[in-house]
Amino acid sequence: MLVFADGSQAGTLGGGCVEAEVKRRALAVFDRNQPELCAFQLDNDYGWDDGLICGGRMLVLIEPLTAIAQASYYQRLAEQLETGTGCLEAIVFDAEKSGLSAPSSYLLDLGGELLASHSAESRLPALICEGQAEARSKSRPQAIAGVAYLPHRARSRLLIVGGGHVGQAVGSLAAELDFDVWVVDDRAEFVDRARFPQAQRLIHGDVGATLAQLEITPDTYALIVTRGHNHDEEALYHLVDRGACYVGMIGSRRKIRLIFDDLEAQGISPDSLAKVFAPVGIDIGSQTVPEIAVSILAELVAHRNCGGQVPGRPAAFYACDN
C-alpha cells in the first residue's frame, strides 16, 4: 500500500482498522523519515469495529520512499512488471534474524541475477543468494530468516484454439487474470477484435497449418475448444509435444478417448497424452458457458500458482482414469 503525504493511498492491506492504523503510522513516518516495523496481533483489540476474527499476527514494514536509489529500484521493478518478464523481490525486514541491514531491498531477475537494490550492501548477500533459490521453487510470497521474498511471475501466454462461445468467455476472463491471450480459428468472424477486445493476437488460418508454424514457449498454456472432434484432434496433434507447460482439451470422456486412440495410432506416445488435461477444467458442476469458463480458468490459475500441479487432480489424469 502506497500512502501519500496528503493522506491519499494506492492499494490496500485489506481494509479495516489495521489498515487505518498502518496508514496513521505511515503519515507519522513522513516527519521522522525513518522506517518502522509494526506488529499487530489480530484479536479483538483490533477487531472491535469491523468484526475481525481471522486471528494471527501481522508484521508491516513502513518505509519512507525518499532516496534516489529507491526511485531507481522502483523504476526497474515497474519496467519488469510492465514488460511481463517477471522478477523476485527480496526485502530484508528483520535485522536480527537476517544479520543484514533492515530495511533493504534487492530486485532479482528470474535467473537470480541482481537487477537493482537499495541497501548498504554493495553486492547480493549470501543469505539472499541461498534464500532466493528456495523462494523461487514456490510461487507465493514467503518470509525466510527475516527476509520477505515476493515473486512476480513472468506473464503466461494463453493460446485458445477456437473462438466460439467457450473460447470467447475464457479469453475475456483470462485477460483479467494476467494471461496474454492469443486466439486461433479458421473462421475470420470468430477472431474478430469485437469478440476478443483484450487479446494480444488474433490469428485467422487453417488450424493445423497455423499451429505448426506458431511459436510455443515453456510459458504457453494451450487450450483446445474448437467446434468439432476433427479440429480438436488436429490441434492436439500439433500441440501435445511442443513444450507448452499446459495443454487442455474440452470434451466428453468418450470423445477424448477416441481422439487419444487416433493420435496413438499416428505415433503420439501414451505418456504425452497422459499429460493432457482432458476433460479440461475443475469440476464445479458447470452448466452454462460462463461457468465452464470459470472452471477452466480455475484450473489454469491453480496450475500456474501451484508449480504445475492442480490440487486434487492426478498429474497423469488419463493414465489412471480411463
- List, for residues 271-290, the tens digit of each pLDDT value: 999 999 999 999 889 889 99
Supply the pLDDT for residue 69: 63
Torsion of CA 196, 198, 200, 204, to 10 degrees: 10
Q: Report the alpha-carbon distance of residue 140 to residue 305 in Å, rounded.
A: 7
Q: With contact defined as beta carbons under 8 Å apart, do 87 and 77 qualify? A: yes
The CATH homologous superfamily to which domain 156-320 belongs is NAD(P)-binding Rossmann-like Domain (3.40.50.720)
The confidence band for 136, taking pLDDT boundaries of 50, 70 and 90, is confident
Under a CB-based contact definition with an 8 Å cutoff, are residues 135 and 142 in contact?
yes
Percentage above 70 pLDDT, the chain: 91
* Model pTM score: 0.75
List where CATH 3.40.50.720 sits in the chain.
Answer: 156-320
pLDDT tens, position by position, 16-27:
788 888 999 999
